């Protein structure tokens, strides 16, 4: 079938189309109603069906591939490598599930997972899925402030964590960060389950903290059956940034997600049971949920979990070829990474790409940020396999724009992530009138018309109103989902993404909200006002840059004092939110550019930082404010 026909069918006959896809997974009870959008924009997929994600990712493979590799845990931080077969994975997941149940976790309870990239993190996610508990994985690079707000919102019964993570040989103790987060949070979890890697000492709180090893040993042979869940029950929430300082819990279902992932493994990633998938992302991000843990395992593939930098070997010596070494060793067929990671590798010796046998590899998928042409060409020439850009979001759970080579070989175009995937009605609308832009290369907001396909977010956790108001009401007079990305479509229907329309920035493929960073900075006693913007960066795509109005004006004329305050502000952000969110520079100004009604002109600041024309400034209250931004950039470089 041509992709055009496949796509058309998904849009014109969604029920028949998705009923067909639903056969890719196991159901305990088959779905009764494929699509229910009677309460648009809320959509219920596969209502009446019962299934379980852990069953589909693990148990069902025991029949045919119990002894095949399922999870390959590689850490170049600790120099360890371990292969778990589906049988091993099943046993470990069962033990963690029994331990969680012993700590009081039941169906619908939340379990917050704050873990480094180790096998136990995947066990914990799958254990939650097994029990019907809702997992909320928080990226291990976040610090106590970010963690606290997520604990408060998710209200977990149990938190699963570890003594420490490690990055570039530097041990990062998690337990003190977790203790501080629990202290800050109004909600207190009943118990904490801790994996001890022997990297950092842990103080255990009596009655609350439990060592996983002991509990798992106790439950070595405890049977824990998969709980059959309604397709529309909640599988997990994952927090993501938006326009406000408060992250949103993106909530996903069980059945729709399982079907969407199974379908994407077949039609987009073209991965088969018995092969190996390697995604270099982190379980703290949506790519890790969909394409480290659930997607590959549902497809019966082995999945590699990699802890470490892309430039260090298992002997912990510098090795810019470690990823390719793993591709050769485990005969990886499908690989998934981010443009930033490739830009890091570009600085290594290109001969490293030729050193290993990469003949198993069929394609490299890249997502999370715009893929620039030089990077795409460099890696494409080096690997000799198709480089497949794909565009999506935490909210969608799987690609919105790419090419579906599993359906029909479709050429990619440099600079474009591709064409709309089956199930997605993608449109480009005029920002203020909401009118559809149908001409080639007309710039507008990329939106999706409902009903959104399976796997797409159900709602914002505990906040249906926020879901509707944030995502579905941003374009005048139309109920459409806004991606908050600018885009254009060329004459052949290929889309190009031109950056965010809101205050979200993308640092090294990681999505961050500038408002969260601003809130952290404005909490500093010496800061009167602050604006944070994302500025183009050759390596990371974007970096955060802060402009601060100090309480004490003397800082402006005193470079020593300015340097000291810059250091304090950076440390405060790193301590509260994590090193990822730390601004690359903090510039000091006497006044920030605002409109007469007091709205910060972030886009104008960003334009000045990037040496572009700041555009229409008729609403600016004090035009000298931008001049100050320019001066601070010139003097503090």
Q: Please answer whether residues 105 and 111 qualify as being in contact, where contact means their C-beta atoms are separated by less than 8 angstroms.
A: yes
* Residues 96-115: x where in contact with ligand PRX by CB under 6 A, - otherwise, as a string: --------------------
Q: Which of residues 308-367 bind ligand PRX (CB under 6 A)?
A: 367
* Identified binder of ligand PRX from the candidate list 511, 524, 587, 594, rule CB under 6 A: 511
**How far is the C-alpha of 31 from the C-alpha of 33, rounded, in Å?**
6
Q: Does 520 bind ligand PRX (CB under 6 A)?
A: no
CA distance 60 to 423: 27
Task: Tell me how many residues contact ligand PRX (CB under 6 A).
Answer: 20
Within positions 265 to 294, which residues make up the interface with ligand PRX, using CB under 6 A? 286-287
CB of 475 to ligand PRX, least distance (A): 16
Q: Which is nearer to ligand PRX, 86 or 392 (CB)?
A: 392
Per-residue binder mask for ligand PRX (CB under 6 A), 415-444, x = binder: --x---------------------------
Q: How far apart are CA 41 and CA 18, in angstroms?
A: 18
- Which of these segments, 40-48, 89-97, 125-133, 388-396, binds ligand PRX (CB under 6 A)? 388-396
399-436 burial string, b = 16+ CB within 10 Å, else e? bbbbbbbbbeebebbeebbbbbbbbbbbbbbeeeebee
- Binding to ligand PRX by residue 307, rule CB under 6 A? no
Q: How far is the CB of 248 from ligand PRX (least distance, A)?
A: 11
Cα 597–617–605 angle (5° rounding)?
Answer: 85
Among the listed ranges 113-121, 389-397, 524-532, 604-612, the one in contact with ligand PRX (CB under 6 A) is 389-397
Closest distance of CB 247 from ligand PRX, Å? 11
Q: Binding string to ligand PRX for residues 358 to 387, with x set by CB under 6 A, is what?
A: ---------xxxx-----------------
Query: Could you count the other beta carbons within 10 Å of the beta carbon of residue 307?
Result: 21
**Is residue 583 a contact partner of residue 532, using CB atoms and an 8 Å limit?**
yes
Site for ligand PRX in 564-593 (CB under 6 A): none
> What single DSSP character describes residue 228?
P
Residue 196's Cβ-side half-sphere holds a number of Cα atoms within 13 Å equal to 14
Query: Which CB atom, from 393 or from 412, has the smaller least distance to ligand PRX?
Result: 393
DSSP state of 293: I
Among all chains, which residue has been given the structure tokens 């939340």? Answer: 110
Here's the x/- map for ligand PRX, 466-505, by CB under 6 A: it reads as -----------------x-x-----------x--x-----
CA distance 421 to 268: 9
Phi, psi of 467 (to 5 degrees): -60, -50
C-alpha span between 428 and 441 (Å, rounded): 10
Told to check if 392 binds ligand PRX by CB under 6 A, we report: yes
Minimum separation from the CB atom of position 485 to ligand PRX (A): 5
- Interface positions with ligand PRX (CB under 6 A): 240, 286-287, 367-370, 389-394, 417, 483, 485, 497, 500, 506, 511
């Amino acid at each position: 079938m041509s992709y055009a026909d496949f796509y058309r069918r998904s849009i014109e006959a969604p029920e028949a189309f998705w009923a067909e896809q639903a056969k890719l997974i196991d159901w305990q009870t088959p779905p009764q109603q494929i699509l229910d959008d009677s309460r648009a924009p809320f959509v219920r997929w596969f209502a009446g069906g019962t299934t379980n994600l852990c069953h589909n990712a693990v148990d069902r493979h025991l029949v045919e591939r119990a002894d095949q590799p399922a999870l390959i845990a590689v850490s170049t931080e600790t120099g360890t490598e371990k292969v778990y077969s589906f049988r091993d994975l099943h046993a470990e997941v069962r033990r963690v599930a029994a331990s969680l149940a012993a700590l009081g976790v039941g169906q619908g309870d939340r379990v917050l997972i704050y873990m480094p990239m180790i096998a136990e993190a995947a066990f914990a996610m799958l254990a939650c899925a097994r029990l019907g508990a809702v997992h909320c994985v928080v990226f291990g690079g976040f610090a106590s402030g970010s963690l606290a707000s997520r604990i408060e919102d998710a209200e977990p019964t149990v938190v699963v964590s570890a003594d420490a993570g490690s990055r570039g040989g530097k041990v990062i103790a998690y337990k003190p960060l977790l203790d501080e987060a629990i202290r800050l949070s109004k909600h207190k979890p009943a118990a904490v389950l801790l994996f001890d890697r022997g990297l950092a000492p842990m103080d255990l709180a009596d009655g609350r903290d439990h060592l996983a090893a002991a509990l798992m040993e106790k439950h070595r042979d405890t049977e824990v059956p998969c709980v059959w869940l309604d397709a529309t029950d909640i599988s997990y929430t994952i927090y993501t940034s938006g326009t406000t300082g408060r992250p949103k819990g993106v909530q996903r279902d069980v059945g729709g997600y399982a079907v969407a992932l199974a379908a994407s493994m077949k039609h987009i990633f073209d991965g088969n049971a018995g092969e190996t998938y390697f995604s270099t992302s982190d379980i703290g991000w949506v790519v890790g949920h969909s394409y480290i843990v659930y997607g590959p395992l549902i497809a019966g593939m082995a999945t590699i979990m990699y802890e470490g930098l892309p430039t260090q070997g298992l002997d912990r010596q510098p090795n810019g070829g470690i990823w390719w070494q793993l591709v050769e060793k485990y005969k990886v067929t499908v690989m998934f990474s981010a443009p930033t990671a490739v830009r890091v590798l570009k600085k290594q010796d290109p001969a490293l790409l030729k050193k290993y046998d990469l003949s198993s590899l069929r394609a490299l998928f890249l997502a999370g940020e715009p893929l620039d042409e030089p990077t795409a060409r460099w890696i494409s020439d080096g690997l000799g396999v198709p480089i497949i850009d794909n565009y999506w979001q935490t909210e969608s759970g799987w690609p919105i724009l790419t090419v579906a080579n599993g359906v029909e070989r479709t050429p990619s175009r440099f600079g474009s992530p591709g064409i709309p995937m089956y199930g997605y009605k993608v449109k480009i609308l005029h920002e203020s009138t909401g009118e559809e832009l149908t001409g080639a290369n007309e710039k507008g907001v990329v939106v999706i018309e409902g009903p959104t396909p399976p796997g797409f977010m159900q709602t914002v956790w505990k906040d249906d109103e926020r879901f509707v108001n944030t995502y579905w009401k941003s374009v005048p007079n139309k109920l459409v989902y806004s991606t908050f990305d600018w885009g254009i479509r060329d004459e052949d229907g290929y889309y190009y993404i031109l950056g965010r329309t809101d205050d979200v920035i993308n640092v090294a493929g990681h999505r961050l909200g500038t408002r969260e960073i601003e809130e952290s900075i404005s909490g500093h006693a010496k800061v009167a006002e602050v604006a944070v913007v994302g500025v183009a960066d050759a390596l990371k795509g974007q970096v955060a840059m802060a402009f601060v109005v100090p309480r004490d004006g003397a800082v402006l004329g005193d470079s020593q004092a300015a340097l000291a305050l810059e250091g304090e502000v950076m440390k405060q952000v790193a301590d509260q939110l994590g090193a990822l969110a730390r601004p690359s520079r903090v510039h000091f100004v006497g006044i920030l550019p605002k409109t007469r009604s007091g709205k910060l002109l972030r886009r104008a600041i960003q334009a000045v930082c990037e040496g572009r024309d700041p555009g229409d400034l008729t609403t600016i209250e004090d035009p000298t404010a931008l001049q100050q931004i320019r001066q601070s950039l010139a003097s503090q470089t």
